[in-house]
Amino acid sequence: MMKTIFTIFWKDFLETLHDRRAVMRMILMPCLIVPMMSHLFVTFTQKNSEKLDTTTLNYAIIGESNLPELAKLYAADPGFRRVDVVGNRLDEAIKSKAIRFALVIPADAKQNLGSGARVDIKFMYYQSAPSHAVVKERGTAPLKTYNEKQRDWRLAFMGVNDESARSNLLNPVSFDVENVASVREQLGHELGILLAYPLVLICFMGCAFSAVDLVTGEKVKGTLEILIMLPISRTAIVIAKYLVVLVLGLLYSTFCLGSFMAWLFLEGTHSSTAFTSMWPQISSLDILLVWLMLVPVNALFAAVLLAISVYAKSYREASGLSGLLNVMAILAVTSIFKPGLDLTWLWSTIPVANIGLAVRELIKGTVSNYLMIGYMIVTTFLLAGIALSLSINFFRKESIIFRD
CB 192 within 8 A of CB 363: yes
Helix residue spans in 269-352 (DSSP H): 273-278, 284-311, 315-333
Mean pLDDT of 360-389: 87
Question: pLDDT digit string (tens) for 98-147?
Answer: 999 999 999 988 888 888 888 899 999 998 777 788 899 999 999 999 99
Distances 383 to 155, 239, 300, 329, 350 between C-alpha atoms, Å: 71, 15, 7, 14, 10
Question: pLDDT digit string (tens) for 303-313?
Answer: 999 999 888 87
Question: 135 or 187: whose pLDDT is higher?
Answer: 135
Specify the pLDDT at position 45.
60
Angle, nearest 10°, between helix axes 163-170 and 141-157?
A: 110
Find residue 62's DSSP bridge partners: 104
How does residue 83 score in pLDDT terms, banded at 50, 70 and 90? Answer: very high
pLDDT of 366 > 90? The answer is no
CA distance 94 to 100: 6
Closest CA to 58 of 16, 101, 29: 101
How does residue 82 score in pLDDT terms, banded at 50, 70 and 90? Answer: very high
116: left (phi over 0), alpha (psi -120 to 50) or beta: left
Q: Please report the domains of the chain, with CATH numbers, ordered by start residue.
A: 2-39+183-401 (no CATH), 57-163 (3.40.1710.10)
Give 403's contacts (C-beta < 8 A, 6+ positions apart): 313
CA distance 59 to 74: 9
Provide, rounded to the nearest whole percent, the portion of the chain with pLDDT above 90. Answer: 20
CA distance 375 to 344: 11
How does residue 29 score in pLDDT terms, banded at 50, 70 and 90? Answer: low
CA distance 44 to 348: 37
Mean pLDDT of 77-88: 89
- Strands, sheet with 122-125, edge to edge from the N-terminal-most edge strand: 80-82, 57-62, 101-104, 122-125
pTM, full prediction: 0.72
pLDDT of 269 > 80? The answer is no
How does residue 253 score in pLDDT terms, banded at 50, 70 and 90? Answer: confident
CA distance 334 to 347: 13
